Chain A
Amino acid sequence: MKKNLTTVMFRGTKAQEEQLIAVIEKYRGTKGALMPVLQEAQEIYGYLPIEVQKIIATRMGISLEEVYGVSTFYSQFVLNPKGEVAIAVCLGTACYVKGSGDLLDKITQVLGLPAGSTTPDGKYSLEATRCIGACGLAPVLTVNNEVYGKLGVGDIEGILAKYK
């Protein structure tokens, strides 16, 4: 799926940047270092915005496009930060046949938020995931670490209301 660019303001700290630079230095001279650097950068910042990718590109002496190309190729790299309210809808086979696609559409409609993005204020994020292994509860979504199962479209507004 095409990745959405973030509209959330970057709030990286000096400490995070120092951590990232240390990671880049650790891999200096290693072949194929971009992947592990991106992975660790995502652990530090939670996502890979342009500010972070620029640091990586400049310090590794590669073009920003090369970094971006890799970050958009692999589904595990994310360009949007998780929101305070991080919603994930399972689109695994079982959930999907039980109508999780409709749940996703409903949330998008209520929050005005397409899958794979975060509201500009950083409050909500919405993600479509592969199977999370709770097929017995299909269709399933999670909000932060709470799991909600056996849902219908009618349940969505009630769930969201809890996180206002």
Chain B
Amino acid sequence: METISLKINGVEYNVPKGSTVLEAARAAKIDIPTLCYLKDINEIGACRLCLVEVSEGGRPFRMVTACVYPATEGMEILTNTPKINKSRKTNLELLLSNHDRKCLSCVRSTTCELQKLCLEYGVDETNFAGAKNKYKIDDATPIVRDNNKCILCRRCVAVCKHVQGIGVIGANDRGFDTHIGSAFDQILGETSCINCGQCIVACPVGALYERDDTDKVREAIADPNKHVLICTAPSVRAQIGECFGYEPGTDCEGKMVAALKKLGFDGVYDMNLTADLTIMEEATEFLGRVKNGGALPMITSCSPGWIKYCEHYYPEFTENLSTCKSPQQMFGAVAKTYYAEKMGWNPEDIYFVSAIPCTAKKFEVGRPGQSAAGVPDVDVAITTRELGRMIQKAGIDFKALEDEKFDDPFDIGSGAGAIFGATGGVMEAALRTAAEVIEGKPLEKLEFNEVRGVEGVKLATYKLGDITLNVAVASGTANAKKVLEAVKAGELDVQFIEIMACPGGCVNGGGQPIQPAVVRMTTDLRKVRAAVLYNDDATSDVRKSHENLAVKKLYDEYFGEPNSHKAHEILHTHYIKRGL
């Protein structure tokens, strides 16, 4: 790697050529505060918090924004002078002058990047008292927007437009009236927002958050007439530790299960199981479409953000979507049909909760075609963040918990189910099962490495028996767009596509614990969390969905076989052509 040498606060460092001043300083382990900066996503130098003094070619020092200013050979950088500190402090006061400073009950208190800087710089109130904007909170959808807390950093706008290729939010009006909103100031629910929640994860403050559904769960638990059941998505175990100070990429499955039991759930189940069930249905559906000339390429349907994206932006592809419900919805449906019958319970007395790294799942629970027993399959979906808050509020010492195991009879998930949370995981799980069905013999190698990794689009060709299969995997809806456009143009000939709305898949979902920009600069959360799932898979006794005995039992006792009439009624759904 080519390097340049420069001086930071009088000390000489070698840093990679092409770095910005911010990158150079952080490479030298010297932090410069940032607010609007989000690596690779929003690098616009807007908030003026990263001001530093630089001198080039012996010229006098002047102030620049470190996040966008290129570092050059021989440059001298000062990051901590009284002049800089005063400017940063003034900028913080200006930001606070139009910020709703209700920090006490703010959902982002202690994880707020603005609050942290105010603490560091000793800013509590503002010297710039004056007019303040007053905005109505938009809370009609699972994504809540509170412009009164917004600092106009535009991280949410950049994620929505560039990473997801959607752009339903942006800056409206100008000057003091500037605010983030949708076209014609419609509420999000009236736009083509897909509820992916990537904006929430990008927000440095409390201007964006998910609708909190935890009170509903607590009430259900307190109701003696309800059987309150919960299942946790594959990724939650790889994220939940972060709510309690663990490093990203720590597997906390055992403690998570223990915490859920302490919270009072009557059954704590592993969604990896219905991930396996999804594979049984989806792989069968796919082979059926290949054999009978159904709509190809078939596209996965696990990600409700992707589903809504497809319905709005590519309604012509809704026939290509697998009709399988998502693993979350399948679980609720199985609980309220099969399990209710088995236990002699009225489905209405079951309160089914899913814990999920996703905000779009909150929308999914209310979709039509998701009520197999005549009542909603899933009553409420809570994000990993909400689950973390529930555990905290209940006074449970998460770190001190002894590992526990999921409850019978939904305690088995295969390794194939575990990797659902990472981009490419559903494809790999489906390929493992499809290959064995087609070839009629056990696979020699279970890893399909070509579809692993965090690249936005992955293409691969596999030969299963006498079928040559071209597959595509995309994560992040901007990448989904690339794949679909290529399919439309006839440039890409694939039979099976996996699409996840969030970049990297569910491990990086809109419901994940929020890591500040400074962590996201150096840690690829998609990678370290996915590693937990791939490790789960590698160390599982059962690594193929069709070998999951709990799934087998479901078919033996209830569904008969994959894609049976009963399976169709309970485990499949339909879509809406929404358009824009």
Contacts and interface: CB of A to CB of B under 8 A. Distances in A.
A57 B166 CA distance: 12
Given A5-B184, A65-B182, A65-B183, A73 B174 contact: yes
B173 A63 contact: no
Contact of A69 (B166, B170, B580): B170
Nearest to B580: A58
A66 B167 contact: yes
Contact of A65 (B168, B173, B174, B177): B168
B185 interface: yes
Contacts of A53: 183-184
A143 interface: no
Contacts of B168: 63, 65
A67 B580 contact: no
A68 B184 contact: yes
B461 interface: no
A65 B168 CA distance: 6
A62 B167 contact: yes
Contacts of A66: 161, 167, 170
B196 interface: no
Contacts of B392: none
B185 A63 contact: no
A64 interface: yes
Highest count of chain A CB atoms <10 Å: which of B171, B183, B185: B183
Nearest to B184: A50
Interface residues of A, number: 18
Contacts of B184: 5, 50, 53, 64, 68
A99 B430 CA distance: 75
Given A62-B167, A63-B168, A3 B183 contact: no
A69 B171 CA distance: 6
A67 B183 contact: yes
Given A53-B183, A65-B183, A2 B173 contact: yes
B81 interface: no
A98 B218 CA distance: 64
Interface residues on B, range: 10 to 19
Nearest to B181: A65
A72 interface: yes
A2 B171 contact: no
A66 B191 CA distance: 13
B489 to A, nearest CB: 14
A50 B184 CA distance: 7
B22 interface: no
B387 to A, nearest CB: 32
A1 interface: yes
B417 to A, nearest CB: 36
A57 B170 CA distance: 14
B540 interface: no
A50 B167 contact: no
A69 B180 CA distance: 9
Contacts of B173: 2-3, 72-73
B454 to A, nearest CB: 26
A131 B185 CA distance: 30
B185 A69 contact: no
Highest count of chain A CB atoms <10 Å: which of B168, B173, B181: B173
Contacts of A62: 167
Contacts of B161: 63, 66
Interface of A: 1-3, 5, 50, 53, 57-58, 62-69, 72-73
Interface of B: 161, 166-174, 177, 181-185, 191, 580
26 contacts: A2-B173, A2-B177, A3-B173, A5-B184, A50-B183, A50-B184, A53-B184, A57-B183, A62-B167, A63-B166, A63-B167, A63-B168, A63-B183, A64-B191, A64-B580, A65-B169, A65-B170, A65-B181, A66-B161, A67-B183, A68-B182, A69-B170, A69-B172, A69-B183, A72-B173, A73-B174
Given A66-B167, A68-B183, 19 more contacts: A2-B173, A3-B173, A5-B185, A53-B183, A53-B184, A58-B580, A63-B166, A63-B167, A63-B170, A64-B580, A65-B169, A65-B172, A66-B161, A66-B170, A68-B184, A69-B170, A69-B183, A72-B172, A72-B174
